[in-house]
Amino acid sequence: REKEREREEGGRIVRSVSMAPTNHTIVLHNAGGILTMDSNLTVFTNGALVVEGDRIKAVGGSESILAEFAAQCDEIVDLCGQWIIPGLINTHVHTSQQLARGIADDVDLLTWLHKRIWPFESHMSEEDSYISTLLCGVELIHSGVTCFAEAGGQHVPGMVRAVEALGIRACLARSTMDAGEGLPPQWASETTYSCLKIQEDLFKEFHGAGGGRIHIWWGLRQILNATDELLVKTKELADMYNTGIHMHVAEIPFENEHVAKTRSTKHGTVTFLNNLGLLGKNFLAAHSVWVDPTEVQLLANEGVKVSHCPASNMRMLGFAPIPEMLDAGVCVSLGTDGAPSNNRMSLVDEMYLASLVHKGNAVYKTGTTDPSAMPAERILQMATINGAKAVLQEDEIGSLEVGKKADLVVINPESWTMIPLHDPITSLVYCMRTENVDSVMCDGQWIMRAHTILTVNEVEILASAKEASVQILKRANIILPKRMNMI
């Protein structure tokens, strides 16, 4: 049994688990199936996988793996028919918004930003961001996520502390805005120079933290709040430091109209960003809903990665042309967005929605149904290997292959949510729920076993989150409308 202790960190209780030594070898065998998500989409039935330190040493059939490695390993785990899949990768998250879940339901995007979310975020402290990221991370881990891309909050150091404690991977970015209307006073004073300098300092201090699990990216909130200079300089710095850029792109029609009008561009955001030279292989475009066929081809030609957020899009933005993007060769991954725009931070739910949304939308595009649109295999690629490409780590994560990092999820299908398992591949997309995620390993370390997170104290996090969220609402003077006849 793993030894656990609790310690004080930043005034909050964090559970610290003794980690396996770097040369520790584990054999996981008798898996109902191992979904490798390699280039051949190989699935090993009655499979086994060997983890040595933080890497995958071998993967194959149980009989051959046990014959070769049983005598020399430190631990053997019988999975009793459970499945192994790669760790899921959530490519668009707002960890600092987790404490704002439920404060911006049923409102349009600009009201959502200017009246609810920006006032809330601007009144958060670093400690609040730390608690919010811990709360978000707990939900991510329970849904099988081992890596996420943060779209940008104000307190990256707080996020770093939380990610280090949680034991998962993250690409963290600071939300940067140097122009536009509706900015809170705390943010309106920032200049182009300060936006860039702060991010460069964050990169130098935190890139590679958490034993290499934490990467620092450059963040651009949206084009409505960015000068051309900020856009161009961000690209220059991200390229110089060989890291990524995370930006909300083409979210609503007004955005394209505004860009066309104020920047003398033919269509909208994607066209303008391409004209500036911002698009490239290290550019992660969140949402990308209102793009035309020409812009879809631009995204493909420049190697841009798109994060598709089905629930958030359906709530406020619209139908993104995701099948068209995939057919054009765009790398599309999956994201949940933040809690106030989705409420659920489960990538398992997003997999299900991503398929159904585009099957249904086919009726409006072609006049007939297309149940074959966005098949299960494609959805699984979006949640794994495409996610790895989106966070620029496809050589390390996203599939279960020899030499890659040991980021994996154990799925227990033996429940009413998935039985009978006639087609296990489609069941992973259409039947699986968060409850089926049994255990999660990241970087060769178990961070959840049998539904229990080992790295942090969930009970203490929930208590801290309740208190912090109430205090932020008070400081921001956000008053929510009353609903129904509550007595």
When computed from its CA atoms, the radius of gyration of the chain, rounded to whole angstroms, is 22
The answer to whether 129 and 154 have CB atoms below 8 angstroms apart is yes
The one-character DSSP state at 251 is -
User: What are the residues facing 61 on neighbouring strands?
Assistant: 47
Backbone angles phi, psi at 377, to 5 degrees: -60, -40
pLDDT recorded at residue 13: 45
The full length of the chain comes to 487
pLDDT recorded at residue 18: 53
pLDDT recorded at residue 12: 46
pLDDT recorded at residue 370: 85
Query: How many whole angstroms separate alpha carbon 452 and alpha carbon 409?
Result: 13
The answer to whether 121 and 150 have CB atoms below 8 angstroms apart is no
Burial of 125 (0-12, 13-18, 19+ CB in 10 A): middle
**Amino acid letter at 103?**
I
Report pTM.
0.95
Query: How many whole angstroms separate alpha carbon 131 and alpha carbon 138?
Result: 11
Q: Mean pLDDT for each 10-residue chunk of the chain (487 residues)?
A: 41 54 89 98 98 98 97 96 98 96 89 90 96 98 98 95 98 94 85 97 98 98 95 98 98 95 91 97 98 98 98 94 97 97 96 95 85 96 98 98 98 97 98 98 98 98 97 94 90
pLDDT recorded at residue 180: 87
